[in-house]
Structure 1
Amino acid sequence: MKYWLILLILFTSASTGQGFDHSHSAYSDVLQRFVIVYDGGMKSVVNYRKLAGNPKSLNNYLTQLSEISSADYKQWSESEQLAFLINAYNAFTLKLIIDHIDMFESGDAKSIRDLGGFFSSPWEKSFFKLLGEKRSLDWLEHEKIRVDFNEPRIHAALVCAAMSCPKLRSEAYIASELDAQLEEQMNTFLSDNDKNGIDTSGVYLSKIFDWYGEDFNNLKNYLRGYSKALADSQTERETLQGDFSIRYLNYDWSLNSPENR
């Protein structure tokens, strides 16, 4: 009788999501195997060709994500929820790319934008299940993450498979370290002078800050809080204290693969 009771408890725990691995260790294993970090840790690319040839670990992790119901999710802490959603966005983006690897290999696709249809973008495709329903990457970012969390640092964490994106970490986001991970991501992104910085014309930024400027609630003040990352010298830091101008760089949508480094 005790044996069957234990089995029932274990089954109930698993079926309600209580057994979900919030360390996201399966995903970290995928990232460590296929993400290449370079340029002093400021950038990364993904070996999509190798990942496409060895998709089992990623697919298993995505299955774990898809098995979580909305009711399960609501029982988690805010940090557990946000880590789950960021990892889901990045991991399903990897899935989207490797599912179309033949298009990249043939030259029919050069960026994620080439995976859309005549009347929709790739981010609008509902190609995966999450929280009980078919979802799209747009739903994850614009209807869930940006709506439910007042956290502008997510824009340095969500990676859309392009060279101008922030780097994809070689580890998963986890609740216990989420604040530190997001802070490191934003500092790293702003420290990458190919994407953000200060020159004689003023401050130049990634288009991400233009697209999502409203999320930063006074962008100039927000940037002042990251002056050590954005500015390379005391003179540049002084620039941030005044009424500086901002220009936005063109976005390189080339696939973030080793071939495009």
Structure 2
Amino acid sequence: GEGDAEEVARGLQSMVLSLYDSFLTPDGSRVDFSRMRGSRALAAYVRASGALREGVSLSALASLPEAGRKALFINIYNALTLHASLALGERGPASPEHRGAFFGGDSGARYSIGGFAFSLDDMEHGVLRGSPQGDARSFEEGDPRLCLTVKLDPRIHFALNCGAASCPPIKIYDAGNLEEGLTLAARSFCDAEVWVEGGAVTMSKILMWYGGDFGASEGEVLRRVSGFMSPGPKRDALLALLEGGSWEVRYRDYDWSQNA
């Protein structure tokens, strides 16, 4: 039932938290994969992740409050990325030829949840981005997993860690801290990844790939991003460009090397 789903989710979240605590560098941006790979803590997590298959039903997950469902899938996405990066090694996201399969292919990262297979793409696009129409990675009409979709909150892009050095750092979310946690994740990411120099704005490619989640035009995206940033000279410079109506946007190359 619903309580079982929450219990399994809480148990996995606490194991993931202890894994991250044990093997993350102090700033939260890197994972010590070599130490983690042979650890008892990882073996225990792998065993426990089997409870997603048997101990959770889609209907129980669907009956969770939306904030709980969103937090659960952010955490499971980050946990699966970590687990699969360790298991698949050279076939992980750092390799351009394996990247598509890692996120969405049958040979890539996936968990069985309530008897249904979920790839990382299913979790991100099907559930957390609300299965947007016209995106081939969305759930198709009639897919039983559609009951899990949540309303798109573009701040999820600052919470999902895809196992690469340019990804946001890993944090743990729950229904109680989700709103504050996503606000902080958006602020810290945009403060660090948005630069204004002269008439040019340089940003992470995440804001190019998913620009449509933040706004219908470049100006809307920049205004949304400015709202995430801390008050200060950088935000003021961005707002001044927006007021002036003229700017150039550049996107930094994405560093896909493993965040280890």
TM bucket by the smaller chain?
0.7 to 0.9
Residue 157 (str. 1) matches residue 165 (str. 2): no
Distance change (3 Å), C-alpha of 1:230 and 1:210: farther
Once residues 259 and 209 of structure 2 are traced to their aligned partners in structure 1, the CA distance between those partners, rounded to angstroms, is 20
Residues 211-253 of structure 1: CA distance to partner in whole angstroms, max 9, x if unpaired? Answer: 0011112312202313426853744553344323311111111
Aligned to 1:168: 170
Of residues 105, 113, 119, the one that matches 1:130 is 113
Confirm whether residue 199 of structure 1 aligns to residue 184 of structure 2.
no
Q: Which has the higher contact order (CA 8 A, sep 6+)?
A: 1
- Conserved 8 A contact 1:111-1:253: yes
- Secondary structure of the residue aligned to 2:117 is strand
Aligned to 2:136: none
- The 1:124/1:206 distance shift into structure 2, 3 A limit, reads same
Secondary structure of the equivalent of 1:22? helix
Q: Deviations over 1:184-220 (max 9, x none)?
A: 111111121xx32212242111000000011112312
8 Å CA contact retained: 2:199, 2:241: no
The question of 1:143 aligning with 2:126 is answered yes
Match for residue 253 of structure 1?
A: 256
Distance 2:93 2:116 in 1: 30
Distance 1:69 1:238, change over 3 A: same
- Asked if the contact 2:166/2:256 (under 8 Å) is kept, the reply is yes
User: After the TM superposition, which of the residue ranges 122-131 and 247-256 deviates more from structure 2?
Assistant: 122-131
Q: What code does the residue aligned with 2:195 have?
A: G
In 1, the alpha carbon distance for the partners of 2:29 and 2:214 equals 25
Instruction: Structure 2 unaligned segments of length 5 or more: list them.
Output: 131-149
Query: Would the aligned equivalents of 1:27 and 1:58 in 2 still touch at CA under 8 Å?
Result: yes
Give the C-alpha shift of residue 99 in structure 1: 0.5
* Structure-1-length-normalised TM-score: 0.78
Partner of 1:31 in structure 2? 20
Cross-structure match for 1:77: 65
SS in 2 for 1:166: coil
Question: How many angstroms apart in 1 are the aligned matches of 2:201 and 2:230?
Answer: 14
- The alignment's C-alpha RMSD in Å is 2.6
CA separation in 1, counterparts of 2:59 and 2:249? 43
Give, as a single letter, the amino acid of the residue that structure 1 aligns with 2:23.
Answer: F
Distance 2:231 2:120 in 1: 29
Kept after mapping to 2: 8 A contact 1:197/1:230: no
Separation of aligned partners in 2, 1:163 and 1:130:
28
Given the alignment of the two structures, is residue 95 of structure 1 paired with residue 83 of structure 2, yes or no? yes
CA shift, 1:134, in A, is 1.5
For residues 13 and 86 of structure 1, do their structure 2 counterparts lie closer, same or farther at Cα, with a shift above 3 Å needed? Answer: closer
Aligned counterparts of 2:103 and 2:93: Cα–Cα separation in 1: 16
Paired with 1:133 and 1:242, the residues of 2 have a C-alpha distance of 51
1:63 match:
50
Which residue of structure 2 aligns with residue 4 of structure 1? none
Q: In the alignment, residue 188 of structure 2 is paired with which amino acid? A: T
Aligned pair 1:222/2:219, yes or no?
Answer: no
Count of residue correspondences:
229
The structural deviation recorded for 1:60 is 3.8
2:31 aligns to what? 46
Distance 1:209 1:183, change over 3 A: same
Which consecutive unaligned segments of at least 5 residues does structure 1 have? 1-11
The yes-or-no answer on 1:19 pairing with 2:7 is yes
TM-score, length of structure 2 as denominator length: 0.78
Counterpart secondary structure, 1:20: helix
Q: Distance in 2 between matches of 1:254 and 1:57?
A: 27
1:135 and 1:110, CA in 2 relative to 1: closer, same or farther beyond 3 A? closer
SS at 2:8 equivalent: coil
How far apart in 2 are the matches of 1:70 and 1:109? Answer: 28
What SS does structure 1 have at the residue aligned with 2:254?
A: coil
Distance in 2 separating the partners of 1:80 and 1:13: 11
Percent identical across equivalent pairs?
25
Aligned counterparts of 1:115 and 1:186: Cα–Cα separation in 2? 29
- Match for 1:65: what amino acid? L
Change (3 A) 1:59 1:239: same
Aligned to 2:135: none
Structure exhibiting the larger radius of gyration computed from Cα positions: 1
Matched residues in 2 for 1:13 and 1:249: separation? 43
